[in-house]
Amino acid sequence: FDACRKQNFIMKAALLWTISDFPAYGMLSGWITHGRLACPYCMEHSKSFYLKHGRKCCWFDSHRQLLPIDHQFHHDRHSFKKSTVVKYLPPQEFNGMDVLNMVNQLHSITFGLKAPKQQQPGFGTRHNWVKKSIFWELPYWSTNLIRHNLDVMHVEKNVFDNIFNTVMDIKGKTKDNANARADLKDICKRPSLELIFENEMYKKPKATYVLNDNQRKKVCEWIKQLKFPDGYASNISRCINIDEGKIYGMKSHDCHVFMQRLIPLAFRDMLPKPIWGVLTELSLFFKEICAHEIRTSVMDNVKVSIIETICKLEKIFPPAFFDSMEHLIVHLPYEAKVGGPVQYRWMYPFERCMLYLKKKVRNKARVEGSICEAYIVEEISNFASMYFDPTIQTRHTQVPRNDDGGEDANGDDKLSIFKYPCRPIGKGQKIILTDKELEIAETYVLVNCKEVEPYLHYGPSKFATSFNGLIVNGYRFHTKDYGHNKATMNSGVCVRGNIYGENDLDYYGIVEDILELSYLGHQRVIILRCHWFDPNGVTIDERYGLVDIKHKSKLQSDEPFVLAEQAQQVYYTRYPQSGGRSSDEWWAACKVRPKLFMAETLNDEFGGSNELTYTDYYQDDGSIRAHQSVIHDETIPLFDGIAPMEEVGNNDIHHPMDNLHHDHFIDDIEDDEIEDINEFIDDEELYDSESSYD
């Protein structure tokens, strides 16, 4: 109904695209996403093949064709398939009209439970079509640049699982098992990693990309002591079994944070530098793809660099490592360039919704009815709550967890130094500042005030109020002592220095106290007293963006204070103990973006605009430039001659299958993609156990 014209009208809607996991992708599109032709972009031009011992599909050495024609990897006969030089061009890219012509040639099928088994001619060999999707009845469907989105959430999770389980050598989950080594002998030229048959027993040489028992234990101990800021991630330490050296029960968002933030830290001194560098490049790729804001120029560079990164992974890991998830990575930059930031195209919000609906089921014999009844009651309650008094807290009026109180409505006549919104946490404690502390605090406030009025020179009162916590800029800060025994770390702080340009100068520290200074006229200013680390003890890896802090250093300065409005939050974590950089002397520093933040759009054509944005999931800011993959000419050592070989039983190796059939193979991806309630993010696990209003 048009309230302006006082008449009814027909509202029309257009379907932009679908968002689903990979198995559902096949159901919606009609192109089945398992088997040798699983990739919906490469289609029949896929270079995948079946592994005789592993008995599954493999996309090993399928990516050199995507590199520029003059790339050195094309002529590498030793690092990829045996004696193979790639001379063919990249596969054809199909547009909407090409795909429409394909599906128009399919035979019609009968749907329903009683329908006979039907299969399109050439299925599994020339194509993977099983039906013509009903979406093709939309007249504009063939003109859509993206019709079905690859789910970045599940792709990232499966890639992380493959990397972590292989490097940690998790039994039953590693991609470097006995069958993988048997296939390695047939496909690659890596004799040092081939299985050795001695005394009626196979022995598997240890690879350098696999950690030993002592290293696995140190990584698990490191994960056990990890602490993140409030709302950043769930408590990953609960997933660790140090005795067995295993990690279990990690949810999709845990894998998301680990892949982008912790992979470079966990394996920095555990793996050879070339192998660690490739894994770090993959971590940076997902950070670029999942950024809150992206640039098309950056995605063009990322598309080239990720292909090189995948090729370098192929030079390290066995062919069994490369399932369809590792291949789909190369198509993500195109979808990001066309479809925009990933927060509009991944499964996180929908899985959160499904978890929300599952909790409403009370009668498992009538699942749909239970959800409908509970949902209707909730809708009625929400509608009625819109007419409640504003003082009554409802879903529409509830205060966000890290709400800073907002600006003072009567603060127009106040100085800017007194108007910045922030909310102390807990009950304050009156303290008396020393003369030196009072002088330093007064000077700092004066220097950082835009309008220095005469009455401000009277300075603050010597009596200040100390707090254990503060909410400002969307962050929740705790003092070091108050947060010592908590499961989260909210005491890390970072501010920009006076010199900021090409050589970024950030000051990192720990919050020791939160003080509220009182001025004449009942005005107040909140400052943080911090222990600042010496900037000379800060090292920055320009290539990978890693920041290391000498946490035992101290800045020799009489300025321990910083205004609350200037504070940014960081968290610190030590490295796994293995010597070198990973000693107790160094901490890794990771900046945190608040969930409630002011986002400035990057639209240069129409001008930038600011908007208040809230996100439930970890995302970095927009990229300044894409990371560049670096090609090294030296050979990566893959054989660990020091570690003992692992004995493998004859029953652990599958006999090779020559006459291969599609039904003989195991598709790991379908099992990995099965959704379970434990895969969802639980809001309560992202935050500390304390109340929002303490």
73 closest CA partner among 279, 306, 278, 312: 312
pLDDT score of 377: 93
Q: Tokens 């989260």 appear where?
A: 488
> What DSSP string describes 606-621?
T---EEEEE-SS----
pLDDT score of 675: 41
pLDDT score of 250: 87
CA atoms within 13 A on the CB side of 271: 26
By the 10 Å C-beta count (0-12 exposed, 13-18 middle, 19+ buried), 459 is classed as middle
The residue with greater pLDDT, 49 or 595, is 49
Pairing relationship of beta strands 148-149 and 18-19 according to DSSP bridges: parallel
Do residues 211 and 169 touch, judged by C-beta distance below 8 A? yes
> How many helices (H) does the chain have, and how many strands (E)?
16, 24
Q: Pull the structure tokens for residue 474.
A: 């969307």
Residue 263: which pLDDT band, with cuts at 50, 70 and 90? Answer: very high
The residue with greater pLDDT, 568 or 606, is 568
CA dist 360 and 313 (Å) reads 44
Do residues 446 and 519 touch, judged by C-beta distance below 8 A? no
Strands (E), 523-660: 523-532, 538-540, 547-550, 561-563, 568-574, 586-591, 596-600, 610-614, 646-648
Q: Is 70 exceeded by the pLDDT of residue 456?
A: no
> What is each CA distance from 446 to 75, 216, 418, 462, 611, in whole angstroms?
66, 52, 12, 16, 31
Cα-based angle 643, 646, 647 (whole degrees, multiple of 5): 150
Q: What is the pLDDT of residues 82-96, one digit of tens each?
A: 989 998 888 888 999
> What DSSP string describes 284-317?
HHHHHHT-SS--HHHHHHHHHHHHHHHHHHHTTS
Do residues 423 and 503 touch, judged by C-beta distance below 8 A? no
> What is each CA distance from 107 to 36, 127, 132, in whole angstroms?
22, 13, 9
Read off the amino acid at residue 164.
F
Q: Pull the structure tokens for residue 518.
A: 């009182």
Read off the amino acid at residue 199.
N
Averaged confidence pLDDT in the chain: 83
CA dist 422 and 414 (Å) reads 15
47 closest CA partner among 8, 83, 104, 86: 86
- 419-437 burial, b at 16+ Cβ within 10 Å, e below that, comes to ebbbbbbeeeeeeebeeeb
CA dist 41 and 124 (Å) reads 15
Q: Pull the structure tokens for residue 517.
A: 């200074």
Cα-based angle 655, 648, 183 (whole degrees, multiple of 5): 45
> What is each CA distance from 401 to 421, 464, 681, 685, in whole angstroms?
15, 26, 17, 14
Q: Pull the structure tokens for residue 444.
A: 């700092």
Residue 512: DSSP 8-state: E
pLDDT score of 17: 95
Q: Is 60 exceeded by the pLDDT of residue 409?
A: no
Percent residues over pLDDT 70 in the chain: 84
Q: Pull the structure tokens for residue 687.
A: 């935050």
Q: Pull the structure tokens for residue 338.
A: 């066309």
Q: Is 80 exceeded by the pLDDT of residue 522?
A: no
Do residues 51 and 58 touch, judged by C-beta distance below 8 A? yes
CA dist 163 and 317 (Å) reads 10
Average pLDDT of 132-136?
94
Pairing relationship of beta strands 610-614 and 596-600 according to DSSP bridges: antiparallel
Q: Tokens 């900021």 appear where?
A: 500
Residue 546: DSSP 8-state: -
CA dist 317 and 54 (Å) reads 15
Q: Pull the structure tokens for residue 529.
A: 């007293």
- Residue 687's contacts (CB-CB under 8 Å, 6 or more residues apart) are 230, 231, 401, 488
**DSSP alpha helix (H) spans, 594-687:** 668-673
How many residues can be counted in the chain?
694
Sign of the C-alpha dihedral computed for residues 125, 126, 132 and 136 taken in this order = positive
Residue 631: which pLDDT band, with cuts at 50, 70 and 90? Answer: low
Residue 664: which pLDDT band, with cuts at 50, 70 and 90? Answer: very low
pLDDT score of 28: 94
Q: Is 80 exceeded by the pLDDT of residue 690?
A: no
CA atoms within 13 A on the CB side of 57: 25
Average pLDDT of 539-559?
86
User: By mean pLDDT, which of 477-486, 504-513, 638-647 is the weakest?
Assistant: 638-647
Q: What is the pLDDT of residues 614-625, one digit of tens each?
A: 556 666 765 544
> What DSSP string describes 145-183?
S-SEE--HHHHHHHHHHHHHHHHTT-TTT-SSSHHHHHH
Helix (H) / strand (E) containing 101: helix 96-104
pLDDT score of 671: 42
Q: What is the pLDDT of residues 343-353, one digit of tens each?
A: 889 999 898 88
Do residues 55 and 666 touch, judged by C-beta distance below 8 A? yes
pLDDT score of 327: 95
By the 10 Å C-beta count (0-12 exposed, 13-18 middle, 19+ buried), 14 is classed as exposed
CA dist 649 and 440 (Å) reads 71
CA dist 488 and 234 (Å) reads 9
